[in-house]
Chain A
Amino acid sequence: MKIKICTVFLILLLSAHFGVCQTPLVIKGKVVDITGETLIGVVVCEVNELDRTLNGTLTDLNGNFALRLSSPENKIRISYIGYKTKEFLASGQTNFEVKLEEETVQLDEVVITAESKKVGGFMPVAERDLTSSVSTIDMKALKEVQVSSVGEMLMGRASNVDISMNSGDPGAGMSIKIRGTASISGSNQPLIVVDGVPFEIELDKDFDFSAVTQEQFSGMLNIAPEDILTIQVLKDASATAVWGSRGANGVLLIETKRGTMGKTTFEYLYKLSIQQQPKSIPLLDGDSYSMLMMEGILNSGSTEIPQELSYNKDWEEYNNYSQNTDWLRAITQTGISHEHNFSMTGGGESALYRFSLGYLDQDGTTKGTSYSRFTSRFNLDYNVSRKLLFSGDLSYSYSDNDLSFKENSDSRSIRALAYVKAPNMSIYDYDKEGNLSNNYFSPGDNFQGYGSLWYNPVAMANEATWNMKQHRLRTKLQLKYNILDNLIFQSFVAFDVDNQLENKFLPQVVTGVQWTSSYANLSSGMDYQSSVLEGQSQLLYTYQKGNKHKLTSMLAFTLSYKKNGWYYGSTSNLPSIFLRDYAQDAPVYWIGDGYSQNRMAAVLGFIHYSLLDRYMLQFNIRREGSSRFGYDSRWGTFPSVSVGYRISSEPFMKNLKLINDLKLRYSYGVNGNQPNSSYGYFNLYSTGEEYIDMPVVIPTNLQLDNFRWERNSQINYGVDLVSLNNYLEVHFDVYTQKSKDLIWEKLKLPSTSGFPEITRNWGSMDNKGWELMFVTDILKKKNFNLDFNFNIAHNENRITEIPENFDFEFGSEASNGQYARRAQEGHPIGTFYGFRYLGVYPTDVDAVAHDEQGNIIYNVEGKPLYMRYGNSDGYRFRGGDAVYADINHDGLINELDIVRLGNSNPKFIGGFGSKLTWNNLVVTLFFHYRLGQDIVNMTKMNNENMYYRNNQSISVLNRWRRQGDITDIPRALYNQGYNWLGSDRFVENGSFVRFKSASISYNLKKIAERIKLKDLKFNFMVYNLYTWTMYTGVDPEVPMISTDPFFIGEDKADTPPPVSYIFSLNAKF
């Protein structure tokens, strides 16, 4: 628990007497406890009136000490861990016997009651006086939730905070969205602030992702959940304003645990978790697969059956192509993880410390994936004097992640490959005599295809490597100086060094390519370094006159300086699969590097005034400058104002016993957003390839003279209510957010300009919504407690203005596998369009055009008009083909028949849970939900299209096979036709309620006492227990990474969220 050291010292000071003796003298003495036993190693020191320690000594083996005082006016302080500190003046006396009393009070409990929570990082306002929208996540409830990442812990806990994991693989990143999408460019991820210092979880946008997969880098918040003390979510502009543009998408404030005064406490936690992969979509076996493929080829008018499908026993490869392989099972394993956490907390009056070490070792449910993480953290607070406090924080984490191999963003992951790989193929190679060998069966080229889309997934899981290592070192040094009692100067400097190393190796046994191919034994490495310097100085002034007037004000200056550099290299044709280092004497496949830096500075003024504990007014203004803008538009000014009114403090409310506290809030604020690229506003020239032998330099982008800050303004109305004798706590907020001058980073430009795109401020967007959260204690008995918490949020996004010349269609031509997406005024981002699917034509003659009355349309020659795709020369639909609604009855299925199909934005998101405490037993349940969103089930689309040579799900067994078949699954048609256009066939309601976690923990107090432990707790938890949903795909919890205006929610999940069983043991001593 956080300690307010100053308060403690004030109390100590008041209890001290002041003497007037002037002569320096030596004092002697002995320190004993109540029983008279001598105490060894007791700190005896001389302190001046500012509590600065001037001189000190320790008691010897007999408890004796001697100390020379520099001034008789100074106090003598005697302190010993676990005992109450004594302070007194010598008052002429030179020999003392000091009795120390044992400390009986639990110090951390004292602190809780003594201190009111401070909210908003460096905004020193008590939660009670807040006028802005802030959710605090109840860490007491989370104590029982034993997960390995902060993201998992937070899911569904705070209202309108939508968190989703990017995949079920260990170490996977997460995406967080607070109050919907506010910006069209860049990320909508909130700012994460750890102990007052922004924590970067994304790679710099200048990074060239051409060679690496972006999603793996995002969201690596390497903090052990055990080190976290509180998490606060700042939502409205008034609350986020102090954090400036980086906090425009909301702020997550994480505070880590610090030292507490008292005897050193050791805490150890062990966690064992077992992860099980849930059942996936059932796929065809080898026999039904070959049948399907042959049917598809024949239907497409070809008679060329590849011999891989023809089961010809005389063929030498017969055995390799006549198996029934379950590729998914072959790459799946049970994931086991162990986690150890050890911490040491303690401190005396001058120094408080907390030290923690954590180690996690996790194996994923896909073979070859694992994650190990080492975290360490050291927080120290040192009181140099009553006026001067110094704190130093140091944290270092190291993670080593073996990822599921993926060659590049476009290729398939191992699990995706296992879905499509031909099940008639063998994992291992059979020789001509039919004997199974140990070699992987990895033909470089077979009937399914060649290249990264068709590797042997088992070989890939076992032999290919994709490893990411991350070192992250963060330090923060802070000084706090109390100039006057109510005027404080505070300043910190923080460094954050992030180093990520990637290594990839793709051995020839996986690809099966020729040894001379540039894909043979391809090895690559990447080194990314980023270092951030954050600095901040602030001057705090508080004024209080009775209970009437309370004023808090602050002036702060912050700056941030970030540097990035990366290097990437890859070489191919390494001579052996055991030589995996890319820095070899081998042909260079690709090589590149980059470097960028950017800087930010801001001045911030802040005033909070509270009158009669009833009327509250807060005003802040931030002037922020960023190096990403040109000289003239560099600075932006962002004001915000908020007011609060505590009705419950009005005299007329005093009689209403039902209401304990009732506060109304209003806030209005403006925040800014800056572009992602560091040098976007320059007119840059870079070199290209030569012409003849003349070196080439060309301009690469347009100078931005009119480019300015994107401005997001937000109005927030809120109510906080505590009622029914503190049984019920309700928070309700309604907000409207308007984003103006939206930054479009890649706005298409007419190519007559000579440039494909430009960055420009253009258009606007709205987000409107509300959020409700309540916590209630259903039962509050002495040994029996039952509480219930619930949160729900609704957000509506709307594009209100789009650029005049903006091509609002994305992929104007609807084609197989594509949904039309349009960014349109009045519609939200995430709307998608497509065809209406009406089933399957039973016969060829059914595929004719109908007019509005349902009559067949005939052409001039009196023949019925057949349905075609696109134009009158397009593909003609036949029996077994998908029927799409011909909206305009022209006999053609084309863009004109596209209708609105759905919206990827959930109507409601939230969570609810309950906690039951009965003596030493604690049971918690937690549910998380999203309701009312439409999902494009890409997994289904890929598993039922029967268009490629991919393996398909068993639902295609119901496909149309011959004239007259009535079914709703079209025929197999290899590489032809339009049976899987983006249509409502693959759109599903993605509403779900997920039983996120259930835990039971028991505190063995009696046993603990017997074996001299302070605390001993056992906990068992099940995570991702069950999902109630109508959705038929793998995972309805689709990541909402909405970085472009054409984003739609597509479920492409390979790995459904695994069910985890977690057992943990926690001991304090």
Chain B
Amino acid sequence: MDKWYRYFFCLFLLVVPGACSEWLQVEPESELTREEFWQTGNDVQAVVAGTYKELAGCVERLFKWGELRGDLLVPGQNISSDDRRIMDGFIYPENDLNKWNQLYRTINFANTVLKFSRLVVDRDQTFSENESKAFEAEALFLRSLCYFYLVRIFRDVPLILEASENDAQDYYPAVTSEQDIFLQIIDDLNIAVVDLPTSYEKTEYNKGRATKSAAFALMADVYLYFEKYQACINACNEITGSGLYGLIDGEDWFMNFFPGNSNESIFEIQFDKDLNQTNLLYQMMAPSMGGSYPDGNDEFRVSPYFVIEFEKVLSDRRSGNRTYLAFSGGGWYVFETTYILWKYVGTEGTSGMASGGGATGYRMGNKESDAHWIIYRYPDILLMKAEALVEMGEFEQAIELVNLVRTRALLEPVSGITNKFTLEDIILEERAKEFCGEGKRWFDLVRIGRRNNNERINRFIEILSANKTYEEAEIIRSKYSNPNSWYLPIHQDEIDQNNKLVQNPYYINQ
């Protein structure tokens, strides 16, 4: 109130407007302006956390991108029409699954950290340059991860490395080729692996934030995708040589998913229902019982053909009641047996459980779904390395690594394979069984299809058209014979809003 006399002074004196320009500066009270923010190391950490948080919001999308076009899942009863079209192979630019906005939001937050963290070093005495570098490395890791998803899903996408701050910037970028994005990712990760810590002070941070190993895992994945096999093997060796991770016992395999953060986990996005950090994985996968428990939405199920494949070897510790749970009946409608993707729905994986709605061991319910989203765990490193070794012609070493994963699952080891393609297929199948529903299948298939200038495109098509009706298989064959169709179209809204974007040629005139 002490300022009131000034206003009256203004009023009665007919002052020149210049004097009132300051008076017209009104700052918000419930939010911070950029000038007020970026003062301490805590501010930097908060935006880094925001970047992770944003990525955590992408989990449903990462799941769908990695699985819907693969062959391990089938539509459930309440699948959305957009998702069904993707699964049926009818893909149009208007489909909401083609939206990339969340990933670019994550990228923008990472860019914001990269721009401002350095400035805070000068402002906050307690915030050292090394601390800043570690945060920047986390941002680089997250940005690289996002771009890696983007190039695998859309191939050529805009490469944004500047934080969006004001309206003077150009927000209408053209696309960058996947090769250039690959080079950018590798440059960034090479910095990140130096600056990232090996571990943090608590388990949730060790698994839920970027570490050196997480960056190496991502690097290995990127190199494998872009067919740089020796580099991939080197990156894998950094992890296997660190001694920080190892395969857990086959009996405890389900502990990877519940409670999560197991010894073999390298990077997984953390959720915690006690902190209201939940996702929709439970809801998408759990059966729908007409409102009563388990109150899922039954959007996606495990493919019965995959289950048959799985159950060919009954001793596999990852099969029934672990990767999937047989479910029949329940509620007021009756249908044939279906298979719930149990990794995100159940709390335990014992073979003694009854199947269906009466089964014990469901998680808390769809509003409390807090299954972690695993991006890299140790068997992935072993199998990536094995795949790279196969391409290098080192079959023996590769078989050794594959057998590590097989014997852990109580499967017979394989031996004496000398055909490269056979070995590739064995690794592919092993990956399917180990990582079913973890958002990896489609990328594994595309990697096979792309390799050596689409050398195995027929195998790629064969896998995808198996177990389909004749007509469906025909459509798939004609569609996937054009490799452009392996990438999703840019969403129509993005095309409409940015004249510089060019649609993937496969979808023009669709």
Contact = CB atoms under 8 A, between A and B. Distances in A.
Interface in B152-188: 158, 160, 164-169, 171-173
A692 B272 contact: yes
A751 B104 contact: yes
Interface stretch (B42-50, B118-126, B334-342, B479-487): B42-50
A697 B43 contact: yes
A809 B496 contact: yes
Contacts of A683: 33-34, 165-166
A679 B31 contact: yes
Contact of A698 (B109, B167, B498): B109
Interface stretch (A554-562, A724-732, A860-868): A554-562
A601 B17 contact: yes
A691 B277 contact: yes
A750 B15 CA distance: 44
A687 B108 CA distance: 16
Contacts of A686: 30-32
B378 to A, nearest CB: 21
B47 A537 contact: no
A687 B498 CA distance: 30
Contacts of B112: 699
Q: Choose among B12, B20, B165, B204 the residue with the greatest number of A CB atoms under 10 Å from its CB.
A: B20
B101 interface: yes
Nearest to B47: A697
A627 B26 contact: yes
A708 to B, nearest CB: 11
Interface stretch (A146-154, A576-584, A753-761): A753-761
Contact of A603 (B17, B28, B90, B108): B17
A678 B28 contact: yes
B54 interface: yes
A705 interface: yes
B102 to A, nearest CB: 8
Contacts of B47: 697-699
Given A690-B49, A691-B49, A805-B498, A754 B164 contact: yes
Given A561-B7, A634-B21, A698-B109, A595 B50 contact: no
A535 interface: yes
B164 A685 contact: no
A77 interface: no
A625 interface: yes
Contact of A699 (B34, B48, B169, B275): B34
B164 A702 contact: yes
B420 interface: no
Contacts of A626: 24
A688 interface: yes
Nearest to B99: A751
Contacts of B99: 751
A694 interface: yes
Given A537-B14, A682-B27, A694-B45, A871 B34 contact: no
A689 interface: yes
A432 interface: no
B324 interface: no
B490 to A, nearest CB: 10
Q: Choose among A684, A685, A707, A809 the residue with the greatest number of B CB atoms under 10 Å from its CB.
A: A685
B34 A752 contact: no
Contact of B276 (A537, A561, A689, A698): A689
A32 B105 CA distance: 89
Interface in B236-294: 270, 272, 275-277
Interface string B421-458: 00000000000000000000000000000000000000
B492 A812 contact: yes
B31 A537 contact: no
B104 A753 contact: yes
Given A537-B12, A706-B167, A753 B108 contact: yes
B90 A535 contact: no
Interface in A727-753: 748-753
A760 B277 CA distance: 35
B54 A698 contact: yes
Nearest to B171: A753
Given A679-B27, A805-B499, A807-B497, A695 B17 contact: no
A306 interface: no
B29 interface: yes
A752 B171 contact: yes
B100 interface: yes
B5 interface: no
Contact of B26 (A539, A598, A758): A598
A698 B163 CA distance: 12
Contact of A807 (B8, B109, B166, B496): B496
A752 B108 CA distance: 8
A566 to B, nearest CB: 12
Given A685-B32, A689-B277, A559 B11 contact: yes
B167 A754 contact: no
Given A751-B105, A753-B104, A813-B94, A696 B53 contact: yes
Contacts of A599: 23-24, 26
Given A599-B26, A625-B24, A683-B34, A749 B90 contact: no
A664 interface: no
Q: Choose among A559, A598, A759, A873 the residue with the greatest number of B CB atoms under 10 Å from its CB.
A: A559
A704 B167 CA distance: 5
Contacts of A678: 26, 28
A338 interface: no
Nearest to B20: A601
A750 B498 contact: yes
Given A559-B7, A682-B34, A873 B25 contact: no
A758 B105 contact: no
Contact of B17 (A597, A625, A685, A704): A625
Contact of B164 (A491, A536, A753, A760): A753
Q: Choose among A493, A598, A694 the residue with the greatest number of B CB atoms under 10 Å from its CB.
A: A694
Given A692-B204, A702-B164, A748 B90 contact: no
A674 B25 CA distance: 15
Q: Choose among A539, A679, A702, A754 the residue with the greatest number of B CB atoms under 10 Å from its CB.
A: A754
A635 B16 CA distance: 12
Q: Choose among A598, A682, A753, A813 the residue with the greatest number of B CB atoms under 10 Å from its CB.
A: A753
Contacts of B53: 688-691, 696, 698
B208 interface: yes
B56 interface: yes
A703 interface: yes
Contacts of B168: 705-706
Contacts of B109: 698-699, 754
Interface in A758-794: 758-760
Nearest to B18: A635
Contacts of A750: 171-173, 494, 497-498, 501
A60 B92 CA distance: 97
Contacts of A536: 11
A433 interface: no
Contact of A691 (B17, B50, B111): B50
Contacts of A871: 90, 92
B493 interface: yes
A585 interface: no
A587 interface: no
B354 interface: no
Interface in B42-67: 42-43, 45-50, 52-54, 56
Contact of B7 (A535, A555, A696): A535
Interface string A622-635: 01011100010011
5 contacts: A535-B11, A599-B23, A599-B26, A682-B31, A691-B277
What 4 A-B pairs come out closest when comparing CB atoms?
A: A754-B108, A751-B101, A694-B49, A697-B46
Given A559-B20, A635-B21, A748-B493, 18 more contacts: A536-B11, A600-B24, A625-B24, A634-B21, A683-B166, A685-B37, A686-B31, A687-B46, A689-B277, A691-B52, A691-B270, A696-B49, A705-B167, A752-B494, A755-B105, A812-B94, A812-B492, A873-B90
